[in-house]
Copies of this chain bind each other. A is one copy, B any other.
């Protein structure tokens, strides 16, 4: 993500000065907005064996040589301070905090370079780097493009919000995250198949591009919403959808905190416009999808199922109502759940 420009203006793992201002103020030391530390943490022992000024070989998890780090700094950092500031909690059961607590004690910093890459093992067709997506938007004559982040299977509420946003821009960039997620999230390949089904039948292909975001989830809620938006700006998006509890987990963040946080930056600093949506559902009174903002309906006129309820239905092989999920998508999820 760093080397392909997905994390621009970063050119490498954060040096101490940037790390500190990011954790403290959501800004790089230059003042540019940046809300999530991007660090390479290793154990003391490894750190001791490396010299500042050295070139370090970077491997993928299988041990293949994929990149080079020019080590400019190594430094200790305060894990609970990072947890508290970035995730708003010091609890180790928070999946993002857990990763921080489990990683090494020393951050290695410096610019990175990527070697010639193999295709993505699972989604080669959807591996579209920022330079390519930007060119693609240009080729299609799109001036305004809205990005959509997701780590969940698509249901009608997502589709509604995506299409609403698309109505007022030129193109939609569906950008599901397929990097590491917590173990109880639906696997990326299942989610991508659901999106393929939607692209075939329910989306106009000349207005929508499906691509993968290879990053890991942090579950940092508001701060990650800013991060997700900046990443999509790098992919060429001019707008970014922020729904309820964006990048949230458990009860750590207020339902709309990830929308409010955009007010802490000047629009021109971020360079991408957040499109904020409330809770969406099917409204039986108006017989259409709506949100709490556009529907005059009473609670009992709203078709909404909890995640728990839906998972239960799918596990039993039951289709949720078509107002909640497209039947073809639900069928795909049932198949995956029963395997």
Contacts and interface: CB of A to CB of B under 8 A. Distances in A.
Contact of A296 (B201, B285, B289): B201
Nearest to A159: B286
B166 A293 contact: yes
Contact of A167 (B202, B205, B293): B293
Given A288-B288, A289-B288, A294 B204 contact: yes
Given A201-B285, A205-B296, A165 B163 contact: no
A116 B246 CA distance: 52
A276 B167 CA distance: 8
A295 interface: yes
Nearest to A146: B168
Interface string A151-172: 0000000001101111110000
Contacts of A207: 293-294
A294 B168 contact: no
Interface string A71-93: 00000000000000000000000
Contact of A202 (B166, B275, B291, B296): B296
A290 interface: yes
A101 interface: no
Contacts of A287: 322
Contacts of A288: 160, 288-289
A322 to B, nearest CB: 8
Contacts of A322: 287
A204 B286 CA distance: 11
Contacts of A165: 167-168
B205 A294 contact: no
A137 to B, nearest CB: 15
B201 A163 contact: no
Interface residues of A, number: 30
A88 to B, nearest CB: 26
A168 B205 contact: no
Given A288-B288, A288-B289, A289-B288, A294 B201 contact: no
A201 B286 CA distance: 8
A277 B276 CA distance: 19
A91 to B, nearest CB: 34
Nearest to A241: B168
19 contacts: A163-B294, A164-B164, A164-B167, A165-B167, A167-B277, A167-B293, A167-B294, A201-B285, A201-B296, A202-B285, A202-B286, A203-B294, A204-B294, A204-B296, A205-B296, A207-B293, A287-B322, A288-B288, A288-B289
Interface of A: 160-161, 163-168, 201-205, 207, 275-278, 285-291, 293-296, 322
The 4 closest A-B pairs by CB, nearest first: A163-B294, A204-B296, A164-B167, A164-B164
Given A167-B294, A168-B168, A288-B288, 16 more contacts: A160-B288, A161-B167, A164-B164, A164-B167, A165-B168, A167-B291, A167-B293, A201-B285, A202-B285, A202-B296, A203-B294, A204-B293, A204-B296, A207-B294, A287-B322, A288-B289
